[in-house]
Amino acid sequence: MTDAPHAFPSSASAPVIRLEAVGLSYGTTRALDDITLDIPASLMVGLIGPDGVGKSSLLSLVAGARTIQDGHVHVLGGDMTDAAHRRRTCPQIAYMPQGLGKNLYPTLSVFENVDFFGRLFGHDRREREERIQQLLRDTGLAPFADRPAGKLSGGMKQKLGLCCALIHDPDLLILDEPTTGVDPLSRRQFWELIETISKDRPGMSVIVATAYMEEAARFDWLVAMDEGRVLATGTPAELLRQTGTDNLDAAFIALLPEEQRRDHKEVVIPPRRADQGGDVAIEAKDLTVKFGDFTAVDHVTFRIARGEIFGFLGSNGCGKTTTMKVLTGLLPASEGEAQLFGREVDPRDMDVRRRVGYMSQAFSLYSELTVRQNLELHARLFRLAPDTIDGRVLDMVDRFDLSNVIDALPDALPLGVRQRLSLAVAMIHAPDILILDEPTSGVDPVARDGFWQILSDLSRQDNVTIFVSTHFMNEAERCDRISLMHAGKVMISDTPEQIAARRGGGSLEEAFVAYLKDAIAASDTTKASPTPHIATTAAAAKPHGAMHSTLSFFDPRRMFAYTQREALELKRDPIRATLAILGSLILMFVMGYGINMDVENLSFAVMDHDDTTISRDYALQIAGSRYFTELALITDYDDLDRRMRSGELSLAIEIPPGFGRDVARGSNVQIGAWVDGAMPSRAETVRGYVQAMHATWLAQRARQLYGNAATTGDHQIEVRFLYNPDIRSIVAMAPTVIPILLLIIPAILATLSVVREKELGSIINFYVTPVTRLEFLIGKQLPYVALAMLNFFLLTAFAVFAFRVPFTGSFVAFTSAALLYVIITTAMGLVISSFMTSQIAAIFATALLTMIPATQYSGLVDPVSSLQGAGAVIGRIYPTAHFVTITRGTFSKGLDFGDLSGPFLALIVTIPILLALGVALLKKQAN
Amino acid sequence: MRTGNIVQLGIKELRGLFRDPMMLALIVYAFTVSIYTASKAQPETLNQAAIAIVDEDRSPAAARIITAFSPPYFTVPRLISQSEMMSRMDAGLDTFALNIPPNFQRDLLARRSPAIQLNVDATRMSQAFTGSGYIQSIVGDEVSEFLSRYRSAAPLPIDLALRARFNPELNKSWFGAINNIISSVTMLSIILTGAALIREREHGTIEHLLVMPVTPFEVMASKIWSMGLVVLVAASISLIFVVQGLLAVRIGGSVPLFLFGTALYLFATTSMGIFLATSAGTMPQFGLLMMLVLMPLQMLSGATTPRESMPEIIQNIMLAAPNTHFVILAQAILFRGAGLAVVWPQLAALLVIGGLLFFLSLRSFRRFLQ
């Protein structure tokens, strides 16, 4: 250890970052422990250390993306706990989080991504376009300006991330493992780019976390970290001097505490034994995979012997992963053959699967299961004998050093530890073949060496065949043979030494880069040239033209940045927009016809004990009405009971024996009627019908007996059905479907628009850019308000023209109310989103919180004034109830603004309440 | 196929669900608070129907009619003037307005058959019909009683003994409670399986499963049993403690038989959830698609409005939906006390539909994986 941990380079000015006793915990895990550190300004500073020592946490605190728990973080001369300072400084800070393209929007094009960030920082159009052209040219992305970010290779994603970060001329650039998972050529280009930029802007400070020690060697100043603490600081030369080593890998290992260092030894892979050579484990013959017109893998041929370690190298997106997927049976080959152990790869062949272990590039284990549960689940799925499972799991835990995280959830673990877990899972069933897709991306040097020691043991002792892809040259050198791949083709396959020797005996990396450059030059140079044309220009040093506007609390430009982005995403996902529009119309159609309050065609049957003309006349009276349909006669009470229980009969009439005789005589007689009460509203209607028909029949009888005088009543009641004189259900129901549809669909879309960003990680842009909470919310809301209004016009037209519901009132009033209402419904979605972290819960919660109150408490069927209990309270405040009143008023009652002031006022008051709630609940930093 | 894998993967699903406290809270809410409030809020068909009376006669006969309207069926009538009547109805304050003309009593006694005007807000479908029937019969009763002091009538001695079976008081909250359980069961089973599948794909874990000795059939079956079980347990608890306990709904038939039917129904809906998930690319698309399928299914299943009232073609189409059969089955067992002898066709239909949906989803699930 060093005696002077805070050794400053002589050229240092005032520190750009000052940390005082900073601590951070996730639950019981201590990520950062009492860190006190000054980071000098205007330098390229590297943060090095194993995985999970707190590098990323530290950077997110400095960027202001995470709430500070203990201590003080001073950045650019102010305290980052102070929200006002954060708002002031965030235009000067740029933060690129870990993970390939995590803060980018995959459906937006390269240009649109950068443009979005430019808007967030308040640049005007001309300035933005100028800068974007410049940045894309400098990074070699200009030919790809229209390509969606999701379709870029890893290296290009990182360059795009850098463009987005540099758009606002930051004084402090924070990069969290920017080159992890990026091929050597792109990596080299990336650093050349950064160096040029910092040369142009000498005042800019850059702080980088990295796992590549050869990169760290080029930095001005280093901070070595371990277990949430700082081990040492200083220039690379100083660190080498302190430790007495000749490279940074060794220096870092020397800096580690004794107990950790003890485990580490240099990886030495013994040569393959002569008896290992024999049979072929993996073979590909002219393997070709096409996706539409695009050929991802182009006639690839190789043969890997049992027990061999075979390396696969190549630029990002060159077809390595696709080849591996074919070998595991995940993808079918378009042409050619892939064989494992001499058998054609067959996805249905479970025996072969059991002999193969696969680790995919992205972490693909269950984040909802703990480390132990993940291991156990896979052990069981691979049918390990139950009594050996515990032992095997412990074995893996020891081997991959997972014992201290065994009950942790993977999401809480750093990338490197997660990669170790993935590998442990891939090896749990002791497979004969291991197919590993970039297994060591993001893993620190010590862990990587341990990992390769395991691979070596597996290959040499257990004769396991290992097929591994990597971006690390020192790993490639350890393979028995390697293949270089580019654009779907294998350029060369040989031992690493041979390959290096063929390109003039330099390092393997130089040979690799040379091969890649040749291949790129051979292909269309104008199109695919990723070589940066780093034209040193003055543009990067331009003054901050837009600084004034970034300070205000509400800037329409920033708000529209989000609006425009959301609208673009909606446009790029036509299925979503179509579903939203077409779906509403289908629902309107179905519900308009389906919610029918006209009860007709009710089934009934008669048990006629009398069977005379009079009794048949009585039954005919009912059967003749349009409300009832007569079914076969009821034979006895058992029949009656069975048919009523099965729901076949809604009504059963029993006519007693001697009915005809008794009626003729005028003696007392009683007809029995049973109504199925299972559905009370229907039963009420049936009851009403039967009573009315009974009365009519009586009147008819009376007329036959006493003549016409008997028919005039003692009084009359003139019933006038207002607003809907034909009492058509559709006139009553169709307009009220509009409020329901304008609630549910916009609310779900708005909720998901926020929760999706949370789940996929791009919410970080909201944390670290000057956009305020209100701008964020309203910005996201606007496209959905527009979509909902479009829906509104379509639905109204549908009601008027297709359903022929007369519209009698003021259309302007109705439209204004609809606008207020959709602002409310989308705002409700935003409020719900602030509670939710997963999209599943968000969908369920929105459905639950909108569908039930809207259909049951909003006066759709039962008037609000008739509701009871909590339902009545909800009905009085729920916006749908007010909008239903306005809808009915304007549709059927011919009303205008003046008549509807009450509900209008209720809607207007709701908007600021919901927006305030949304702003209050939304967090501007991660916890 | 190995049952071991299905069990293990199912346990994994359950563990995952228990890690999402928000989801658990929502499930509890859906099966307790939501059902309780919805059931309690359901008014009787005619509950507190807003009525206003314009009395231009101010006679004892008119007073008799006015006092006859009282809660719980009606609000205490508000006495208003002729001019107020239309504006109050426009604003939706009153559903009914009764206008008793001048000289009503005099005309009545003189046998001139005077006319009372009843104005009904016919946009309030649920009350307009039954309410006006009630009002007519109340007015009729009062008038004939008033007149009976002056003359005697001789109506025909034919009675109609009208009784409602299975729910004698036509208590709507019973119906509401069961209905809400049905809709929660449907919604939750579709969301849980469908969204869980999309999530696995968005997180890349599904690919991982497929390089293991696990078949798509096993993956699907595991999701169906585990998520179905969660919903079944929640529904049983809700039925026993909330519906039978708190809401004191009298259940006519066998609860185990109903739960057996629910299990068959869940087989169908969870398969449907997987089918929807394989058709939707992203979570927002799934959310919309689910709404699009769920709402018509619920609306047209016969749970909200009687099947008989729907157009013939819709009735026939809806026979292909599991909801229809489940609603028939639930009403038959829970209200009408029907046994296996009565509901077996529904059980068979659910089994067939479930099997078909399962087969369809399995096919599209296999395609989805490629």
Strands (E), A495-609: 602-608
**Between A200 and B241, the higher pLDDT residue:** B241
Global pTM reads 0.80
Residue that is written with structure tokens 């299905």 in the block: B6
Write out pLDDT tens, residues A450-474: 888 888 888 888 888 999 998 888 8
Give the burial string for A129-164 (b: 16+ CB within 10 Å, else e). Answer: eebbebbbbbbbbbebeeebbeebbbbbbbbbbbbb
> Which residues in chain A have their CB less than 8 angstroms from residue B295's CB?
587, 590-591, 744, 851
Distance from CA of A546 to the nearest CA of B (A): 36
- Those of residues 255-284 in A touching chain B at CB distance below 8 A are none
Contact between A359 and A435 under an 8 Å Cβ cutoff? The reply is yes
State the pLDDT at residue B46.
Answer: 67
Within an 8 Å CB–CB cutoff, is residue B127 touching chain A?
yes
State the pLDDT at residue A910.
Answer: 94
CA A534/CA A166 separation, integer angstroms: 15
What lies within 8 Å, CB to CB, of A833 at 6+ separation is A750, A751, A752, A753, A754, A755, A842
Within an 8 Å CB–CB cutoff, is residue A87 touching chain B?
no
| Contact criterion met (CB < 8 Å) for B288 and A580 | yes
- Those of residues 339-368 in B touching chain A at CB distance below 8 A are 341-343
Closest CB from A691, A759, A893 relative to B90 = A893
Q: Which residue, among B87, B92, B165, has the nearest Cα to B123 in the 3D structure?
A: B92
| Contact criterion met (CB < 8 Å) for B167 and A680 | yes
| Contact criterion met (CB < 8 Å) for B8 and A381 | yes
pLDDT along chain A (927 residues), means of 10: 41 75 82 88 87 84 88 88 85 85 86 90 84 85 85 81 86 88 80 84 88 83 87 89 83 77 70 68 88 83 89 82 85 85 79 83 79 89 86 87 86 78 87 88 76 85 88 86 86 87 80 82 52 41 44 79 90 82 85 70 87 87 82 88 84 89 83 85 80 80 66 69 70 84 91 88 87 91 94 93 88 95 95 85 86 82 75 87 90 85 92 93 84
Pick the residue from chain A with its C-alpha nearest to B46: A866
CA A406/CA B205 separation, integer angstroms: 20
- Those of residues 754-793 in A touching chain B at CB distance below 8 A are 756, 759-760
| Contact criterion met (CB < 8 Å) for B120 and A579 | no
Q: Which residue, among A180, A108, A4, has the nearest Cα to A572 in the 3D structure?
A: A108
CA torsion through residues B186, B188, B190, B193, sign: negative
Closest CB from B47, B166, B309 relative to A596 = B309
State the pLDDT at residue A153.
Answer: 75
CA A819/CA A801 separation, integer angstroms: 22
Within an 8 Å CB–CB cutoff, is residue B221 touching chain A?
no
State the pLDDT at residue A713.
Answer: 62
Question: What is the average per-residue pLDDT within B2-7?
Answer: 85
CA B13/CA B225 separation, integer angstroms: 10
Closest CB from B123, B306, B341 relative to A732 = B123
What is the three-state SS of B191-212?
A: HHHHHHHHHHHHCCHHHHHHCC
| Contact criterion met (CB < 8 Å) for B166 and A733 | no
Record the tokens describing residue A659, joined without a space.
Answer: 């009915």
State chain B's maximal CA–CA distance in angstroms: 94
State the pLDDT at residue A437.
Answer: 87
Within an 8 Å CB–CB cutoff, is residue A503 touching chain B?
no
- Residue A280: count of CB within 10 angstroms of its CB: 15
The region that residue A673 occupies, defined by phi over 0 for left and psi between -120 and 50 for alpha, beta otherwise, is beta
Pick the residue from chain A with its C-alpha nearest to B250: A678
The interaxial angle of helices A879-892 and A901-921, nearest 10 deg, is 150
- What average pLDDT does chain B have? 85
ipTM: 0.78
Indicate the burial class of A366 (C-beta count within 10 angstroms; 0-12, 13-18, 19 or more).
Answer: buried
DSSP A148: B
Cα angle vertex A237, ends A236, A239, to 5°?
65
The region that residue A859 occupies, defined by phi over 0 for left and psi between -120 and 50 for alpha, beta otherwise, is left
Distance from CA of A21 to the nearest CA of B (A): 34
Under 8 Å CB pairs connecting chains A and B tally to 449
What lies within 8 Å, CB to CB, of A262 at 6+ separation is none
**Between B155 and B341, the higher pLDDT residue:** B341
Mutate which of B123, B185, B304 to test chain A, going by most A C-beta atoms within 10 A?
Answer: B123
Q: Residue A208 CA to chain centroid, in angstroms? A: 27
- Those of residues 591-620 in A touching chain B at CB distance below 8 A are 591, 593-603
Q: Which residue, among A911, A909, A907, A903, has the nearest Cα to A885 in the 3D structure?
A: A903
Assign B118 to helix, strand or coil: strand
CA A287/CA A279 separation, integer angstroms: 20
Closest CB from A358, A579, A715 relative to B289 = A579
State the pLDDT at residue A541.
Answer: 40
Closest CB from B156, B162, B212 relative to A381 = B212
Confidence of residue B156 (pLDDT cuts 50, 70, 90): low
| Contact criterion met (CB < 8 Å) for B29 and A848 | yes
State the pLDDT at residue B151.
Answer: 52
Alpha helices in A543-573 (DSSP H): 556-572
CA B53/CA B82 separation, integer angstroms: 9
Pick the residue from chain A with its C-alpha nearest to B189: A844
| Contact criterion met (CB < 8 Å) for A717 and B115 | yes
Closest CB from B50, B157, B282 relative to A668 = B157
Contact between A626 and A775 under an 8 Å Cβ cutoff? The reply is no
Q: Which residue, among A678, A682, A674, A679, has the nearest Cα to A601 in the 3D structure?
A: A682
Give the burial string for A602-632 (b: 16+ CB within 10 Å, else e). Answer: bbbbbbbebebeebbebbeebbeeebbebee
> Which residues in chain B have their CB less than 8 angstroms from residue A358's CB?
208, 211
CA A307/CA B167 separation, integer angstroms: 76
| Contact criterion met (CB < 8 Å) for B215 and A350 | yes
Closest CB from B42, B116, B199 relative to A715 = B116
Record the tokens describing residue B325, joined without a space.
Answer: 């059969």
- Residue A240: count of CB within 10 angstroms of its CB: 18
Closest CB from B8, B157, B306 relative to A669 = B157
State the pLDDT at residue B233.
Answer: 95
- Those of residues 256-315 in B touching chain A at CB distance below 8 A are 281-292, 294-296, 299-300, 304-306, 308-311, 314
CA torsion through residues A420, A425, A429, A431, sign: negative
State the pLDDT at residue B45.
Answer: 58
Dihedral of CA atoms A98, A104, A109, A110 in degrees, nearest 10, equals -50
State the pLDDT at residue B360.
Answer: 92
Confidence of residue B44 (pLDDT cuts 50, 70, 90): low
Distance from CA of A280 to the nearest CA of B (A): 21
Pick the residue from chain A with its C-alpha nearest to B129: A685
The CA distances from residue A79 to A74, A174, A766, in Å, are 5, 17, 20
